[in-house]
Amino acid sequence: MKHEYSVQSLNIVQFAKQEGQLQATVPLADMPRLLRETLPTDQSVAVYIQARGWMQADASGAQEPWLHLQSTATLRQTCQRCLQPVDMAMQVDRQFRFVATEELAEIEDEESEEDVLVISQTFSVQELAEDEFLMDMPAIPMHAVCPQPVRMAVQDKDFDQGESEKPNPFAVLQQFKKGGS
């Protein structure tokens, strides 16, 4: 039997017991916290979400629900080298284990390799994905190779003189070194 699951409200135990799977495409506009951290684009940006659930025995043999989240999105940010927009292709791939209470989750999250969350009947995989992207946001987004060379502020006044009259930056650097010593 095929089940329909909601990316915004999931019964975690049921999803795991049924070894459920879900796929969703969520507009970035529906993730307001993540939207605030990105630059606007002319096209709408979509976040792709995939989740899979299963039950797994812990060390004492008790069955616990698990969830594997995979999510991708291309988020526009400001390149910290050239200050132009840069589209950062981001990917979340993480496993979560669910426990009964907040107290258990806090203790076990410290001790476990996987992330530990609290069992819910209305769990939002969409918010989980949003949280993960926010945590994974690069502190210093940058182009691998910037599309145009970085223009120094001191060169701006010479900008209209044309390419040929621009001083060779290495020559300038040489003069600078001589002057400084």
Residues near Zn ion, by CB under 5 A:
79, 81-82, 143, 146
Q: How far is the CB of 85 from Zn ion (least distance, A)?
A: 9
Cβ pair 83, 152 in contact under 8 A? no
> Is 80 or 175 the residue whose CB approaches Zn ion more closely?
80
Q: How far is the CB of 169 from Zn ion (least distance, A)?
A: 18
DSSP assigned state of 62? -
Q: Find all residues with CB under 8 Å of 82, minimum gap 6, and list them.
A: 143, 146, 147, 148, 150
> Is 35 or 85 the residue whose CB approaches Zn ion more closely?
85
> Is 35 or 82 the residue whose CB approaches Zn ion more closely?
82
Q: Which residue is nearest to Zn ion (CB)?
A: 79
> Is 82 or 172 the residue whose CB approaches Zn ion more closely?
82
Q: Of 68, 72, 62, which Cα lies nearest the Cα of 117?
A: 68
Can you tell me the distance from the alpha carbon of 158 to that of 122, in angstroms, rounded to the nearest whole number?
61
> Is 140 or 171 the residue whose CB approaches Zn ion more closely?
140
**Which residue in the block uniquely carries the two structure tokens 């040489």?**
174
Q: How far is the CB of 138 from Zn ion (least distance, A)?
A: 13
Can you tell me the distance from the alpha carbon of 94 to that of 129, in angstroms, rounded to the nearest whole number?
10
Q: How far is the CB of 156 from Zn ion (least distance, A)?
A: 18
**Which residue in the block uniquely carries the two structure tokens 């258990």?**
104
State residue 177 phi and psi, 5-degree precision: -65, -45
Q: How far is the CB of 149 from Zn ion (least distance, A)?
A: 10
